[in-house]
Amino acid sequence: MGFYHVSRIGVIRGFYSLLAALVERWRPKTHTFVLPVGEVTVTLEDVAHIFGLPIDGEPMSGWINNSSDFLQSQSIAIFGRKPEVSSSSKSYIKLGSVRRIRDAEPLDTESIRRKVRYSIFYLLGSTLFTDKSTAYAHAKYLPLLRDFERIHTYSWESACLAHLYRALCRASRWSYSERTTAWLLKTAARFRQDIDYIEEFEWRPFDRLIISDELHGHLEVCDIVALLLSFECVEWHPADRVMRQFGYAQPPPRVARDIPLDHHCITLRGVQLHDMTVLHGVWIAKWGNKQNTRLRETAPPSELGLYTDNGVLGLVCGLVRTYAEIVRARSLVSISATSTTATCTSRSTSACSV
């Protein structure tokens, strides 16, 4: 398994209105979307089928150092030169310069290795660990590409999913940050309505796919209830809350697992000099025990989706629908308040003009 399949994906274009409606349903504490049919999420299995990269491997961790010396030494060791960096943050490398240098490399043996490293680094910033700009990649990934023979040993899939969970948590209304007026008004009402009244859901979309032999081994660990790591990101993979997505009966979910705020809310601002393998040593050890957290060890397979006890089933469905209605109500109140404020402001301005 490698990055060839990722390189063939091309540009991923998002449908903003649909994404905005889904983000409203994201709950950071559980890492799930709350829908009328129950909780669902993006799982390791989803990411494995899309990108075809390793799940079962070393966690992505190491030094985060935003000094110019670190960037220069790592860049020269890996690429043979120092690429252009962002004017606002010297830890972010411009992907445009990476692409230009890669395309100018000759085709001798050592240059081909550098060309492959350039290509992988470009994919990290443009596809796997992208941000809103899609124009930069953080220098923290450079040491992972230094030993050419170890590149394939990292759990790229789990790191990619940790990055996605972190981005969703920051974008969600249930997080600590407030959304702007413009963001609230851009959400499409019709997508909200479609989600509110959804009655059917494709729990196992990959069941009929022909799976490559290389992917089989990694899918064996896609149903783990484990911590996902990607440098400063530490996020739970909530497989036990979305068991129907793995073909198992779903009991009432347990209390959401917690991660201390000083570990879960790390941001890469200001001076950074951290060895994440030390800071996250406890979580890295838990990742090493992931084989013992697979759902298949305790969960019975079921075509019914939920446990068949009528009392439990009715309670679960009732709670899920009530929670979905609360999310919907909060969205409407937020937008109504925003519209009212805008109207009052407009009237005040008109009165002052008179």
DSSP assignment of 115-135, as one string? HHHHHHHHHIIIIIS--SS-S
Task: Please tell me the predicted confidence (pLDDT) of residue 41.
Answer: 97
Least confident of 55-69, 204-218, 312-326: 312-326
Instruction: Please tell me the distance from the alpha carbon of residue 322 to that of residue 50, in angstroms, as a whole number.
Output: 33
Confidence band for 349, pLDDT divided at 50, 70 and 90:
very low
Say how many Å lie between the first and final Cα of the chain, rounded: 70
Task: Please tell me the predicted confidence (pLDDT) of residue 105.
Answer: 79
Residue with more model confidence, 313 or 115? 115
Residue with more model confidence, 318 or 293? 293
Query: Phi then psi for 39, rounded to 5 degrees?
Result: -85, 140
Confidence band for 352, pLDDT divided at 50, 70 and 90:
very low
The tokens describing 74, both together, are 């790592």
**Do strands 92-94 and 63-65 pair parallel, antiparallel, or not at all (unpaired)?**
unpaired
Confidence band for 177, pLDDT divided at 50, 70 and 90:
very low
Using CA atoms, how far residue 60 sits from 4, 142, 234, in Å, is: 20, 12, 11
Using CA atoms, how far residue 339 sits from 147, 177, 184, 196, 343, in Å, is: 55, 20, 10, 22, 6
Task: Please tell me the predicted confidence (pLDDT) of residue 187.
Answer: 53
Residue with more model confidence, 322 or 73? 73
**Do strands 32-35 and 38-40 pair parallel, antiparallel, or not at all (unpaired)?**
antiparallel
Task: Please tell me the predicted confidence (pLDDT) of residue 345.
Answer: 47
**Could you read off the pLDDT of 181-226 as tens digits, one per residue?**
544 444 567 778 888 888 888 999 888 888 877 788 888 899 999 9
Crossing angle of the two packed helices 109-123 and 95-104, in degrees rounded to 10 = 160
Closest by Cα among 69, 124, 110 to 91: 69
Query: Phi then psi for 167, rounded to 5 degrees?
Result: -65, -40
Answering whether pTM is above 0.75, one says yes
Instruction: Please tell me the distance from the alpha carbon of residue 177 to that of residue 150, in angstroms, as a whole number.
Output: 38
Task: Please tell me the predicted confidence (pLDDT) of residue 195.
Answer: 84
Instruction: Please tell me the distance from the alpha carbon of residue 261 to that of residue 130, in angstroms, as a whole number.
Output: 23
Using CA atoms, how far residue 313 sits from 126, 254, 340, in Å, is: 43, 15, 41
Q: Which helix (H) or strand (E) holds 228?
A: strand 227-230
The tokens describing 22, both together, are 């889904």
Q: Is the pLDDT of residue 307 over 70?
A: no
Closest by Cα among 140, 110, 115 to 125: 140
Residue with more model confidence, 172 or 124? 124
- How far, rounded to the nearest angstrom, does the alpha carbon of residue 354 sit from its chain's CA centroid? 52
Confidence band for 58, pLDDT divided at 50, 70 and 90:
very high
